[in-house]
Amino acid sequence: MDVGMSGGDKLQKYIYDLQVKLGQDAKEVHVGFLEGSTAGYNGPRPMKKKSSYKISAGFARGKAAYVLATNSNQGSEQPAAYIASIHEYGDPKHNIPSRPFFSTMIAKNSPTWGKLLAKCLKAQGYYARPALEELGLVVSEQLVSSIVTGPWAATKPATQARKGFETDTPLLDSKNMMRAVSFVVI
């Protein structure tokens, strides 16, 4: 005996429309120190539409490069990802402690990102690009907040004196690294 089904056209159209909205050209969001951003003179430089997790791969971790990149009031042309990786992981060879602002932010906030994305999708009518842009903005703000709030190993008095600061708060002297945080939806 054949069992037939009729109707369902509206449901099928709704599901198809939802697939179209979600399957736009936007598939993911990258947050952090994107390709082309630098810890430079006036903050980040224009960024390309592609992020780069390996931007610092070609740079030697040398004291001279680090000093050039971090101790100038004007900043440097070093990629922001390179400067951030030095702060994230530290450089014991050059007496630079680890200040894991990125991994700390991920551990603290990533459990909320799924629900946040669902909320953004619903608010944006299930269009992927604006929902991912909203998520990228929130995660970028969380990353900057992590840089600011720490708590990180204090800067040494000698470092404070050399830089001319009275505070022992690390990662905040030029604010160039914070300005380099961005996101891109691809």
Mean pLDDT across the chain: 74
Q: Which is more confident, 69 or 163? A: 163
Give the residue-averaged pLDDT of 29-54. Answer: 55
Residue 117 has pLDDT above 50, yes or no: yes
Q: Looking at this protein, which amino acid is placed at residue 120?
A: C
Which is more confidently placed, 171 or 124? 124
Residue 170 has pLDDT above 80, yes or no: no
Report CA Rg, the chain. Answer: 22
Return the pLDDT at 49: 37
**If pLDDT is split at 50, 70 and 90, which confidence band does 173 have?**
low
Task: With a cut of 60, say whether residue 58 has pLDDT above it.
Answer: no
142/116 Cα distance (integer angstroms)? 13
pLDDT band at residue 107 using 50, 70 and 90 as cut-offs: very high
Let me know: does 83 contact 69? Beta carbons within 8 Å. yes
Please compute the mean of the pLDDT values over residues 66-86 and round it to a whole number: 61
Distance separating the N- and C-terminal Cα atoms of the chain:
50
pLDDT for the residue numbered 61: 35
Tell how many helices (H) and how many strands (E) occur in the chain: 7, 2
Contacts 24+ apart (CB under 8 A), 20-28: 21/125, 21/126, 21/127, 21/128, 22/121, 22/126, 22/128, 23/128, 24/127, 24/128, 24/129, 25/129, 26/128, 26/129, 26/132, 26/185, 26/186, 27/128, 27/186, 28/132, 28/185, 28/186
% of the chain exceeding 70 in pLDDT: 68
Compute the average pLDDT of residues 141-151.
90
Give the burial class of 23: count Cβ atoms within 10 A of its Cβ; 0-12 exposed, 13-18 middle, 19 or more buried.
exposed
pTM: 0.69
Angle at which helices 101-123 and 80-89 pack, to 10 degrees?
Answer: 120
Q: From 142, 121, 175, 131, select the one nearest 32 (Cα to Cα).
A: 142
Are 37 and 80 in contact, with CB atoms under 8 Å apart?
Answer: yes
**Number of neighbours of residue 39 by Cβ within 10 angstroms:** 27
